[in-house]
Amino acid sequence: MKLKNTLGLAIGTIVAATSFGALAQGQGAVEIEGFAKKEQFDSARNFKNNGNLFGGSVGYFLTDDVELRLGYDEVHNVRSDDSRKIKGANLARDALSHFNCPGDMLRPYVSAGFSDQSIARWSGGRNRHLANVGTGGKLYFTENFYARAGVEAQYNIDQGDTEWAPKRGMGVNFGGGSKKVEAAPVEAAPAVCSDSDNDGVCDNVDKCPNTPANVTVDANGCPAVAEVVRVQLDVKFDFDKSVVKPNSYRDIKNLADFMKQYPQTTTTVEGHTDSVGPDAYNQKLSERRANAVKQVLVNQYGVGANRVSSVGYGETRPVADNATDAGRAVNRRVEAEVEAQAK
């Protein structure tokens, strides 16, 4: 019956995932998981066989990478050397540190924490205080649904023995704090010199008395004669990654310096992918890439967040042939362009 309940929990998480919508992973996210593990008991326990443990956990992401998790599982199908049935339960409090970025398909992790375990026979029982360490990986099929595989070791603080268990689970992730894409501010139209007395000359005669009427002027009423200057950005990414590579920082800094030189400029950072993978996944990946470059501009180089927008186009705008490795490498990119008028 308990096995059926556990399977029901796992199936329930799949159904629940369809109702949470496309909510992002990362800081503030909650993960709910059903899992099973095979406990390799220490010989000092005098158990005839190893145990099947089934349970569930709930976790909360303090940051994009650090998760606090509370887990509970029960012992099944274990007997002592004298064939008596073994019962037990385990309550664990662990912290997980994840690698890669929120939204990446694969997120390896390491974990550490403590647990309290109660193992009983037909009557009586013993409480054990354990220190836990583990490692593994989570494979995200969608933004909200993942499978996990790993291994855990438990050190008995009271008696000094160690046990370990391979573990696998399925869960849902929802409620993360992704940042919304900011719309580019609307710039005011250029000033046009007025001619209220119809004499063919700009009304503002203080600085440029010979300025013709109905031309674009600067703050002094003088003709805004300027040349267009432009800077472009093209950042490349590794396959299925949204992490900005160190060799791209110089180009991003050049863009930031240009925008600081011309404080009225704004830009839209555009993310792209190659054609490998589902369309929906590539759309999300392109958005993460664009946002990653935006964060470097804003957080590292001090460009105002209201001056940088980010948008993802998925695989819809290739600039090279996706049938080749070289072409796909070119298409895994983020682009931006800033244009200003300089006298």
Q: What is the pLDDT of residues 32-44, one digit of tens each?
A: 999 988 887 766 6
Instruction: Tell me yes or no: is domain 227-342 CATH 3.30.1330.60.
Output: yes
Measured CA to CA, the distance from residue 307 to residue 52 in angstroms comes to: 56
Is the C-alpha dihedral spanning 318, 248, 245, 326 positive or negative?
positive
CA 330 and chain centroid, separation? 23
Residue spans in the chain of domains classed CATH 3.30.1330.60:
227-342
CATH 2.40.160.20 occupies which residues in the chain?
2-174
The values of phi and psi at residue 194, to 5°, are -95, 160
pLDDT of 60:
92
Residue 198 CB partners (closer than 8 Å, separation 6+)? none
Instruction: Name the pTM for this structure.
Output: 0.48
Alpha-carbon gap, residue 160 to 107, rounded angstroms: 32
H or E stretch including 35? strand 30-39
pLDDT in tens, 175-200: 765 444 444 454 444 455 565 666 55
**2-174: CATH number:** 2.40.160.20
Asked whether 89 and 55 are in contact (CB, 8 A), the reply is no
190-231 tens-digit pLDDT: 455 565 666 555 565 455 655 555 455 666 666 655 556 667
Q: How far apart are CA 213 and CA 275, in angstroms?
A: 54
**Confidence class for position 308, pLDDT limits 50, 70, 90:** very high
Neighbours of 245 (CB within 10 A): 11
What's the mean pLDDT when you consider all of the chain?
Answer: 78
Give CA–CA dist 302/290, Å, rounded: 17
The CA distance from 253 to 271, in Å, is: 18
172: left (phi over 0), alpha (psi -120 to 50) or beta: beta
CA dist 265 and 304 (Å) reads 11
**Residues 132 and 113 sit within 8 Å (Cβ to Cβ):** yes
Q: How far apart are the first and last CA of the chain?
A: 80
Q: Which of 254, 189, 255, 243 is nearest to 216 (CA)?
A: 189
Amino acid 62 reads L
